[in-house]
Structure 1
C-alpha cells in the first residue's frame, strides 16, 4: 500500500500532503496534552511492535503477500490521535530509512495508513460500546473494524492513483480492494487474537469507552 514516487501527479501530491500535515499537526497538539508516565511507553511499545510486525509478510493468493497494518489496533489501544501519531512515525521512518514508499508520495501514504487506517474502523467499535454487547460481539466489531482499516485505505490508494491518471478508476479500485479484502481478513484475525490476549493480561489497555480520544 506504500505508493512509490512517480505514480502521483502534482495536484494529488499537494492535496494528500495538505490533509496529512493538517491532521498530524492536530494529532500532535491533542497528544501532547496527554503524554504521561503511562502513555509515552505505551506509544513507544506500540510503534515498535507494529514496525516489527510489518516486517513479516504472509502469502495471500496469486503470488501476492500482505502484512499486518496495525493502524486500527493502535487507535483502539491508544486513542485516535495517539494512534495516528504512532502510525505517522512508523510510516515516516519506513520512508526515510527503508525507502518503503516515496518521499513525494509520503503525504498520500500518511493519509492512507496513519489517518484513514486509524479512523475508518474505530467508529464501529465506539458505536458498539454504546450498547451492551457480549464479548464475542465486541470481538466481531473489532474484527470488522480491523478489516475496514485495510480496505478503506486501499480504496483511497486506488482513488489517488486514479486521480493521477495512472490507470482507470475502476481498474485500480478493483485491483486494490479485492486483494486487500483478503489481507483485511488476516488483519482481522490477528487483531482479534491480540485483543483476546490483552483482555486477559491487561484489560485496562482496551480503551473503547467515551474516554477514547
Structure 2
C-alpha cells in the first residue's frame, strides 16, 4: 500500500524498501514454514523440540551460519539440537526464492508436461525500462506523449538514475509488459484463465508456465 500512494517518499527512501521486504519475508517464513518427520519418530522428535531452549537453538544456529567454533565444544543439549537437523525436514515451498519453492516449481512444470505434453516454445521476456517511454511515464514524467511514434526522452544518464531511484515503477513496468505480451500477442485471458476466442499470434494457448528470476 505504501508503495502505491500518491506520495512517493516511501519509494525513494534508501532503505525502506529493503526493510519492508525483510518484514514480508519474515512473515512468510513464520506463516508458511512447516516441519515434517517420519511417523515413527514423531513422538521422540516432538519431545526434543519442546525440551530444547530457544537460547540453545540460537547458539547452534549462529555456529552453523558463521562456521566458527568446533562442534566438539557443544554441550549435550546443543548436540541434541544439532541432531534434530537430520531428523526434521523444513518445508518452505510457499517462500519465494527458497530451495523448496524451486523444487515445487520444477514439479509443477513436470506435471504440466505430463498433462499437456512437452512445451512447444521456451521464451525469455526481458523488457528494458531504462529505454522505454512507458516506464518514464510510470516514473512520473508527464512531458512524454505516448501518442508520438518516437517520444523525446531525457538523456541516458538521467534515465538510469530514474530506474535506480524508483524500483517499484520498474517492477510495475515489468508486470505491465508481461501482461500485455500475453494478452495482446498470445491472446490469453487472465480473468477467465484461458485463451481468448480469437487467440494470438501462436493460435490458442492451451497452457503456459512462467517464473521470474
Could you tell me the TM-score, scaled by structure 1's length? 0.22
Higher helix proportion (structure 1 or 2): 1
Question: Which fold has the larger relative contact order, with Cα–Cα distance below 8 Å and residues 6 or more apart in sequence?
Answer: 1
